Amino acid sequence: MSSEAQPRKRLGKNGDGAKRHDAIYRAISDAIIEHRLKPGARLREDALSEVFGVSRTGIRKILQRLALEQLVTLTPRRGASVTRPTADEAKDVFDARQMVECGLMPATARNMTPDNASALRDMAHREREALRAGEQSTAIKLSAAFHERLAQLSGNATLADFVARLCSRSSLILAVYGNPGHLGCESHDHDELIRFLEAGDGERAAAFMGRHLKAIEASLSIVEEEEEVPDLEQIFSG
């Protein structure tokens, strides 16, 4: 066994299995959102097993988890690959977000409290700081979490779960087709939205949310890329 492979094998044998799998899940998820693993890239179980030092069964479970979030596509006899969003899928996702998230704003405004507004401002601040630091993956995740929290505050758990799934899909779309260092909207958009909600103005919040989502969608530059076989050793080394 090479000296380079040794640390990964130790990771495969020691420690809490669930925590180890969570760490691998996050590593692959980040690589997808940061565009180090590109749309259509094949994710071979044997190669990932070697890179991370865990069994193929463990890798299969992680890929299934990623598939549930639609970051990975599982195809019979072909295996796993990074999901390749299309222009039509991107439009469908943002159309759905328009209908659901805008519709939830009046209820969210009615349920807004000073503590909720403060927590949302903190999320918006951390998102801006991540963008300034060049941490695109973190910024995208924080933006999704912000929108998910707004939906949760509406009090409709079913629609909040649906928004969470839509945000997961749009995070991949934004990561793949968005502009590095920018999320397609103004940096103060989320603060402005909080201001309307805190004032209890659900109608203005809904209108602003509509413009906000349209700006994000308009910023996308969807270009189809050729399928590739990624160098997993290089992507996940170090």
3-state secondary structure 43-66: ECHHHHHHHHCCCHHHHHHHHHHH
Residue 74, SS3? strand
59 or 221, which is more confident: 59
Question: In terms of Cα–Cα distance, which of 130, 65, 105 is closest to 204?
Answer: 105
Say what percent of the chain tops pLDDT 70: 88
Task: Give yes or no for a contact between 112 and 197, defined as CB atoms under 8 angstroms apart.
Answer: yes
* Model confidence pLDDT, tens digit, residues 103-135: 999 999 999 999 999 999 999 999 999 988 988
**Does residue 191 have a pLDDT over 60?**
yes
Rounded distance between C-alpha atoms, residue 168 and residue 166, angstroms: 5
- Lowest model confidence (mean pLDDT) among 70-84, 98-112, 195-209: 70-84
- Tell me what pLDDT residue 153 has: 98
* Least confident window among 16-20, 127-131, 188-192: 16-20
Specify the pLDDT at position 228. Answer: 61
What integer best gives the mean pLDDT of the chain?
A: 86
- What pLDDT digit, counting tens, does each position of 137-177 carry? 788 889 999 999 999 999 999 999 999 989 988 888 887 78
> How many angstroms separate the CA atoms of 70 and 82, rounded?
9
Greater model confidence, 118 or 220: 118
Tokens (6 digits) for 118: 């403060």
Mean pLDDT of 187-212: 95
- pLDDT single digits (tens) 35-72: 788 888 999 999 999 999 999 999 999 999 999 888 89
